[in-house]
Amino acid sequence: KNEVEQSPQNLTAQEGEFITINCSYSVGISALHWLQQHPGGGIVSLFMLSSGKKKHGRLIATINIQEKHSSLHITASHPRDSAVYICAVRRGGTSGSRLTFGEGTQLTVNP
Amino acid sequence: EAGVVQSPRYKIIEKKQPVAFWCNPISGHNTLYWYRQNLGQGPELLIRYENEEAVDDSQLPKDRFSAERLKGVDSTLKIQPAELGDSAVYLCASSSRGGADTQYFGPGTRLTVL
Q: Of the spans A11-20, A37-46, B101-110, which averages the highest pLDDT?
A: A11-20
Measured CA to CA, the distance from residue A92 to residue A104 in angstroms comes to 22
Please report the pLDDT score of residue B99 as a whole number: 58
Residue A93 confidence (pLDDT) above 80: no
Q: Chain A contacts of B40, Cβ < 8 Å?
A: 103-104
CB contact under 8 A, A42 and B105: yes
How many percent of chain B have pLDDT more than 90? Answer: 78
Please report the pLDDT score of residue A37 as a whole number: 92
What is the CA angle B18-B21-B23, rounded to 5? 160
Confidence of residue A39 (pLDDT cuts 50, 70, 90): confident
Best of B5, B55, B105, B110 to mutate (most A CBs within 10 Å, chain A): B105
Measure CB to CB from residue A99 to each of B37, B40, B45 and give the nearest one. Answer: B45
CB contact under 8 A, B103 and A101: no
What is each CA distance from A95 to A18, A49, A76, B23, B98, in whole angstroms?
36, 18, 38, 24, 12
Kindly identify which residue of chain B lies nearest to residue A96, measuring between CA atoms.
B99
Please report the pLDDT score of residue B2 as a whole number: 77
Mean pLDDT, residues A60-88 taken together? 96
